[in-house]
Amino acid sequence: MKRRKRKADENTIDTVSNVVEFCIPEPDHHADRIRKFTECLGKGIMQMCPEYGLTAPALEAIVHASAIHDIGKLAVPEEILQKPGKLSGQEWEIIKLHTIQGDEMIRNLMYLDDEGIHDVCCDIARHHHERYDGGGYPDGLKGEEISIGAQTVALADVYDALLSKRTYKGAVEPEQAFMMIMAGECGVFSPKLLRVFEKVRKEMEELI
């Protein structure tokens, strides 16, 4: 029964993910790549960082939750999401709200039987733009205040964003994306997570 409910929850997340991808002007198969990158990083964390206590079922929940990390962008006006130039200060503040709105959407509009996976989805939607040095948003979490799930999806999301062409930027090659992340050009990540990224980078490149 528990496995059946978990499967139903996963199907619900998949359906919502398809809606989000259809409605938001992101590159094709963005959600699928985020899942794969998250899973690859997560397996590396399980091997290299046992102190996190990340288990296979917990990673499975994180991977599924990663697919709807940007659900809050459904509440962002399309003209802001598709703006080719630099965002104004006010537009940037509106974009940043997608984290809070995503958490609220999942919490109030999505019914999931498994409270654990429901909480993981809310956490990742809200905290995938937090940064290890406390410079992220919306809550300014710092260090290990950020769940390992949110940290992992954040890195996967940044990596895919660098590799993808957007209305406001071009795509970069995997080698350049790796170097930019390791050099701290795309936000600050945990040193542990960066070591995992360095270890699995070739596997991630094979997923592109």
Active site residues: 73
**In the block, which residue shows the tokens 């654990």?**
116
The SS3 assignment for 61 reads helix
**Using an 8 Å Cβ cutoff, are 197 and 139 in contact?**
no
**Using an 8 Å Cβ cutoff, are 65 and 124 in contact?**
yes
Q: How many Cα atoms occupy the beta-carbon half-sphere of 19 within 13 Å?
A: 11
